[in-house]
Amino acid sequence: MKKRQSDNAYIQANLSAWDEVAPIHARHNQSELLERVCRPRFSVLDDTATAHLKRLGVNGKSVAQVCCNNGVELLSCKTLGAARCVGFDGAQGFVDQGNDLAKAAGKDVEFVCCEAHEIPREYHSSFDIVMITIGVLSWMPDIDRFFSKIEKLLAPDGVIFIYEHHSILMMFEPGHADDPINWELSYFRKEAYIDDSGLDYYGGESYQATPNASFSHKMSDIVMGGINSGLTLEYFEELPKHISNAWWNVEHSGIGLPMSFVMVFRITNEV
């Protein structure tokens, strides 16, 4: 019980930190996005995400995104032909941004404000694709618990599509392209990493930020998180592609480390 109480405290602190940065992000990009989403082929998905979503048959499929931010990736799924799209995020500020963007784009996308472990039962067994993108897994204190919750969203034969930064990056201190590489943390670290520098990864604005907690999950932890929830690992690929707003120093180091990965889990249909 002690661990669960601590985990919930981390989750609530992260939600507070995320909610307070929502208006800061909006000042940086909401006006531009309100114009961009109106374009017929609007998409923020890179070639990797686009190719995998097409391979999974996103056209005509129902898609949920857990921790969806302002919803631009879901709107991009709509561009690819997705049917029902629902985004879940724990910050009302980002949900409001998503609703404004969907309205401007004239696209039917639903946004729900709720914590990732507390998605209402009415959405269970409803989605062909559940999408997890960068920055989500490292905010989850217990990866097994997270998978056990989100797998409930899957319709029969549904998949969880994950496109995230690689776990090994958590070992390094993030830096600019010309900064040195510093091995900061153990790959096997269990303790939370607490940061109070804020979450404005667009403009780097300084503000009185609520501390947030991130966690390093080994790749094997992520694989086993899905398997322990009864899912089948269908696809796994490590990539050199840098998809974050940090670790530019690692990208430009020439070391050749993996910087991102794609993972697909499929629900096992009951016989």
Residue 71, Ramachandran bin (φ over 0: left; ψ between -120 and 50: alpha; else beta):
left
How far, in Å, CA of 102 to CA of 16, rounded?
24
Higher pLDDT, 29 or 161: 161
Closest CA to 131 of 263, 270, 255: 263
How far, in Å, CA of 14 to CA of 33, rounded?
25
Residue 148, strand partner residues: none
Q: Summarize the confidence of residues 81-104 as an average pLDDT.
A: 98
Q: Summarize the confidence of residues 37-64 as an average pLDDT.
A: 98
* pLDDT tens digits for range 206-229: 778 899 999 999 999 999 999 999
Given a contact cutoff of 8 angstroms between Cβ atoms, the answer to whether 134 and 144 are in contact is no
Tokens of 264: 């697909």
* pLDDT tens digits for range 152-186: 999 999 999 999 999 999 999 888 999 999 888 99
How far, in Å, CA of 69 to CA of 99, rounded?
11
Please say if the pLDDT value at position 103 is more than 50.
yes
* pLDDT tens digits for range 235-271: 999 999 999 988 999 999 988 999 999 999 999 875 4
Q: What is the pLDDT of residue 1?
A: 37
pTM: 0.94
Cα 25-30-31 angle, rounded to 5 deg: 140
Q: What is the pLDDT of residue 270?
A: 59
Amino acid at 175: G
Domains and CATH numbers, the chain: 2-267 (3.40.50.150)
Q: What is the pLDDT of residue 199?
A: 77
Beta-strand relationship, 193-195 and 109-113: unpaired
Given a contact cutoff of 8 angstroms between Cβ atoms, the answer to whether 175 and 194 are in contact is no
CA 88 centroid distance within chain? 11
